[in-house]
Amino acid sequence: MASRSLAQVGMKLLWNPATRRCAESKEMREMASRICRDYLHGAWKQVSSHDIVLKRISGGLSNWLYHVSLPGGEQALRGNEPSQVLLRLYGELHGGEHGVEGLITESVIFTLLSERRLGPCLHGVFPGGRIEEYIPARSLKTAELADPKLSPLIAEKMAEIHAMNVPISKEPNWLWDTMNRWLQNAMVTLKDPAPHTTPRNAHIIANIAKLDLAAEVKWLKKFLTRVNSPVVFSHNDMQEGNILLVKDCIPTRLVLIDFEYCSYNYRAFDLANHFLEWTYDYTLEEFPHYKAGRSDYPSPEQQLAFVRAYLQTARQQREHNCGGTVDTMTPGQHPTEEEAVLLKEIRAFTLSPHLLWGLWSIVNATVSQIPFGYWEYAEERLNAYFEAKAAFSSMCDSVGVKRKTDDVD
């Protein structure tokens, strides 16, 4: 019934950029109020298009976001209905069937996260978009990832994500498929870098072009598939910008957002990637708009505290799913065997985020309009990859992988 009502106001409005661009347009306000009336209860049933408070938050090719609230902060009249929501309108789908499949997968994942309170609450799904919880929150700052109160909470969130059973492919193909796709795009750019070369980045591009990145991807896959890290549902991008701290919430509540890269993946990738994000600050105002601080990498004590919180929550999730109970761990100064195994996995997987995001940065250097030092960042991540690889000679021996790239079949 709700979809029929919505159709009566004209679904074509959803695909009209002029309508979506202007939050003050009569058509946009009418559509937003009709959607909220159809899918929400309480005061939303009585509010008119003239009375709602509508503000566009962002808009692009993929999504348009609006903050919609009741007038004067009016509270809803029934149950737990919200007084403000986030209205998301989908943009044009690209990629044919793959684009539709991606949208369906993302919607399913968002719904599951909502049910488990791991992401924003889902208030409604309609043709062309959805209504989400509006969270008065802010993203964490890089330095806050090391906060001894927040870090264990992040570990718990990660463990809860990893415990999810999501109805998508369980094969850990995302890492290699994504890396190979970005590799192909990067190789095209590096084969003819002239259109993207400036006096500032010429030496960087020249140095990167000398690298055999295809051989590195091949070597890394052979190396990591022998590390034997369990495959779990992963976020794959747990950096500070994707972790929200809810304002004025006691006890402290964190909410994860931006599951663009989520997939089944090796558990150690998420942890290794998160630890590396301690060392990158993306809020620098001046070029290249990021700062690398390798000395900020978590200390052995900080790593152990994170891993301990992660594994404790992982046990609780397993026992909950099996209907049993779990004993509380007694923290010690030294890692248990289980903790030591995971820490070793993380050390090995430290290589993968460096190479992955290095390739990502090469690709984005040619297509992104965002002011960011993509070539500088690519150089930084690739240098870090080779330094980490050189430091792994003993680990390579322990898992039976040859050290030289050229020796890999």
Predicted pLDDT at 259 = 87
Least confident of 4-18, 20-34, 305-319, 367-381: 4-18
Confidence of residue 406 (pLDDT cuts 50, 70, 90): very low
| Cis bond upstream, residue 251 (ω within 30) | yes
Query: What are the tokens at 289?
Result: 């708009």
The domain segmentation of the chain, as residue ranges, is 20-133, 137-398
Predicted pLDDT at 379 = 98
Q: Which residue has the higher pLDDT, 2 or 316?
A: 316
Percent of the chain whose predicted confidence (pLDDT) is above 70: 82
Predicted pLDDT at 258 = 84
How does 60-80 read in b/e, with b if 16+ C-beta sit within 10 Å?
Answer: eeeebbbebbbeeebebeeee
Provide mean pLDDT across the span 236-247.
Answer: 95
User: Which of 267, 257, 261 is CA-nearest to residue 310?
Assistant: 267
Give pLDDT tens digits for 317-327: 988 766 555 55
Burial class (CB in 10 A: 0-12, 13-18, 19+), 127: exposed
Q: Which of 214-218, 223-227, 390-394 has the highest mean pLDDT?
A: 214-218
Percent of the chain whose predicted confidence (pLDDT) is above 90: 68
Least confident of 41-45, 187-191, 343-347: 41-45
Check pLDDT > 50 for residue 273: yes
**Rounded CA separation 316/11 (Å):** 45
**Same-fold call for 20-133 versus 137-398:** no
Provide mean pLDDT across the span 344-354.
Answer: 97
> To which CATH superfamily is domain 137-398 assigned?
Aminoglycoside phosphotransferase (APH), C-terminal lobe (3.90.1200.10)
What's 251's DSSP letter? S
pTM: 0.83
Half-sphere exposure of 273 (CA within 13 A, CB side): 23
Q: Which residue has the higher pLDDT, 46 or 96?
A: 46
SS3 readout for 192-205: CCHHHCCCCCHHHH
Check pLDDT > 50 for residue 5: no
Give pLDDT tens digits for 358-402: 999 999 999 988 899 999 999 999 999 999 999 886 555 554 444
Q: Fold for 20-133, please state it.
A: Phosphorylase Kinase; domain 1 (3.30.200)
- Average pLDDT over the chain, rounded to an integer: 86
Give pLDDT tens digits for 64-91: 899 999 997 655 555 678 999 999 998 7
